[in-house]
Structure 1
Amino acid sequence: MTEKLSADHEQQGEQTATLPETFVEAACRWLGVGILLAMLTMISVEVFMRTVLNYSWEGTDEYGGYLLVALTFISLSVTLARGGFHQMQLVRIRLSPRQIIVLDTVMHVLSLLFMIILVWQFSRMGLQSWRNGDMSMTAIRTPLWMPRAVMVIGSLALCYTLVRFIISGIGKIRAMRREA
């Protein structure tokens, strides 16, 4: 019995949907790498300056936070395209391959609807920041539309990847119907 469940689990693991990388995911991946390197450099310089020069730049915390938010949103589409999000294996292990594809497609549609609402709200917030000239409450006075624009860009990239998965899922469902 354990061997059967283990074999089924491995089969379901192979069912984790991935898609070939497009320009959008590749751009997000490389942008994410750049953001991560910028964070690493900024933090390393800050540690050096504190240790050796006994000086701290006040922008490290602020820009580190902005870079972390940017990395989070920019990496969403790459993570989805590579099958990196958690899945409910407890449920999936009991489903047929067709049911898994249907479940994934439904979840991608729901996720797309949710992300469209987020893009709309992030866009409104960013435009409002632009119009009002909102700045951060620090001495650096960073315009807040900049980090908010990155949230919109990352969310749009995720929407693009979700649409690709939905189209792929519908194609697989149609192909399975033809075979049956």
Structure 2
Amino acid sequence: MQEQYDQGPASAGPIFEATERLTRLATGAVLVALVTLVCGEAFLRGAFNYSLGFAEELTGYAVVMLTFFGASLALRQGSLFHVHFVFDALSESARIWLTRVFAAFALIICVVLAWKTKDLMLSSLVREKFAPTVLRTPLWIPQMLMPLGFAMIGVFICEKFLLTFDRFKD
């Protein structure tokens, strides 16, 4: 049974595979930038007693992005919201229906959260709110990460749901 988890995720089609590749590329780039920024800030503080001033703000935004997009990738890999020893003990039919019920509830939650966080982002955009920081970042920019993150999680939840039907299986 373990070899099932070592083969990588099942796919419901090339759109989901391309979405995963794009998500991995984006999270990888942000992770490299985050590590570079943190190491650069630590070096400058230690060696020259100088701070960039904006590093903390940008690392916060990067962590939020990595959390959402990383969760979506973990969901696709089957390692998020999944207790293998319980799930593996169920019959195939029970697994399919449990996956469908989970996907339906999780998708509803993702849609509601994406909608509400989109409203928050649009409110900040319309009201021209800025972060009270050195960069004075327009708040809608980092707030945009939330609805995008929930949408990405929703995409892979949809894939999990589709994979419960025979026509999408290998």
TM bracket, shorter-chain basis: 0.7 to 0.9
Q: RMSD in angstroms over aligned alpha carbons?
A: 2.4
Mark the runs of 5 or more structure 2 residues left unpaired by the alignment: none
For 1:28, the aligned partner's letter is T
How does the TM-score come out when normalised to structure 1?
A: 0.82
Map of 2:10 onto structure 1: 19
2:61 to 60, 66, 82: 66
For 1:29, the aligned partner's letter is R
Map of 1:96 onto structure 2: 91
How does the TM-score come out when normalised to structure 2?
A: 0.86
* Number of residue equivalences: 164
- Structure 1's consecutive aligned runs of 4 or more residues displaced over 4 angstroms after TM superposition are none
2:116 to 115, 121, 128: 121
For 1:78, the aligned partner's letter is L
Give yes or no for the alignment of 1:153 onto 2:148: yes
Map of 1:49 onto structure 2: 44
Give the whole-Å Cα distance in 2 for the aligned partners of 1:77 and 1:90.
22
CA contact 1:74–1:150 (8 Å) conserved in 2:
no
Map of 1:131 onto structure 2: 126
| Aligned-residue offset at 1:140 | 1.9
Higher alpha-carbon deviation: 70-79 or 16-25: 16-25
Give the whole-Å Cα distance in 1 for the aligned partners of 2:92 and 2:32.
40
Mark the runs of 5 or more structure 1 residues left unpaired by the alignment: 1-10, 176-180
Give the whole-Å Cα distance in 1 for the aligned partners of 2:69 and 2:86.
29
Q: Percent identity?
A: 26
CA contact 1:12–1:93 (8 Å) conserved in 2:
no
2:138 to 140, 143, 147: 143
